[in-house]
Chain A
Amino acid sequence: MKYSVVLLALASLTTISLAQGSATTSAGSNEQVIVVSAPTAKPQAVYNYNYNYDVESDKKQKATPEPTTAYNNIHVSVTGEGVAPVNTASPAQAYALAKRAAIAEAYRLIAEKVKGIHIEGQDYIKNMMVKSTTVRSQVNALVRNATIIETTFKDGLCEVEMEIVISQSQFMR
């Protein structure tokens, strides 16, 4: 029983290795695979073409534009600031609360940069004099997949550096 299992395993291994060998030889005999990669790590495009090629066609192939999806990503980076409340139980709580506030502000700044901000201004003028001036602004957005790059805490002020990567099509929407 045990010997039969071992034999079966050996047989399957040999068949797998044979299949891989045949695949590589078939690829090597007919065509060559070139991997063209963008300057950044991803994405990669794979082009297949015949092994017997002339120089002119090679030049033409090189002249074709490379995949440009890597260049279309937009990095939005912001720094949010938060202050610890005065009456905290411990320095750790102060740090945690300041960090929360800083994260919320960083998210708000990302929303402002990506989606925009609604601004409303109002001046009240009476007898040629400005009595009051009011500026209101509003942001309303759903932010997803933002990453915290760095967090610093000094003198009760917490700074959070946050980044989001979005595609150009998403940014233009």
Chain B
Amino acid sequence: MRSRDGNRYFSIAIYALIFFYTSLNAREYIISYRLVVADTIVLNEKLNISAAMQACSGTQSSSTILSSTDNKNLIKTIEQNREKFITYLEKIGVQIEHSEETKNFIYSARTIMTLKAQCFTVDFNDGFVKITHIKQE
């Protein structure tokens, strides 16, 4: 029969494993963004968020921290901090496609701003969520 002291290191190791597994549960998401502006008025805006079905490969680049009241729900968190998150996405890099036409002195323009589907690591914590962009190599 084992003594109580003999089991101590084993139990500490088990608790440490459980702690790190539960606290560092980073998840990966694929996020894309598209904004259509016609004649300086927003026509359509779409932010697509979905959980990654495969593990993302690449290096971690920029990150942002969003305050969160609802843990483990990324969509709700992003809805609460929409402005901040979209500014962060735009900083990562957006594709600008613009075309304008002046026909018989009547002007019309259309701008499409696109962030192609990118992988993000999301760390859920108490009261905040850390989102990190994974740059594909």
Contacts and interface: CB of A to CB of B under 8 A. Distances in A.
B93 A136 contact: no
A142 B93 contact: yes
Given A85-B41, A135-B102, A139-B97, A104 B83 contact: no
Interface stretch (B7-15, B20-28, B84-92): B84-92
B93 A85 contact: no
B111 interface: yes
A104 B102 contact: no
Interface of B is mostly: strand
A38 interface: no
A107 B94 contact: yes
A105 B42 contact: no
Given A101-B41, A134-B103, A137-B100, A145 B111 contact: no
A85 B104 contact: no
Contacts of A135: 101-102
A108 B100 CA distance: 11
A100 B37 contact: yes
Given A82-B37, A83-B41, A142-B95, A107 B102 contact: no
A68 interface: no
Given A81-B40, A85-B41, A96 B98 contact: no
Nearest to A115: B96
Interface string B49-76: 0000000000000000000000000000
Nearest to B45: A100
A166 interface: no
Contacts of B97: 139-140
Interface of A: 81-85, 96-97, 100-105, 107-108, 111-112, 132-148
9 contacts: A81-B40, A82-B37, A100-B45, A102-B40, A104-B113, A108-B96, A134-B103, A134-B104, A142-B95
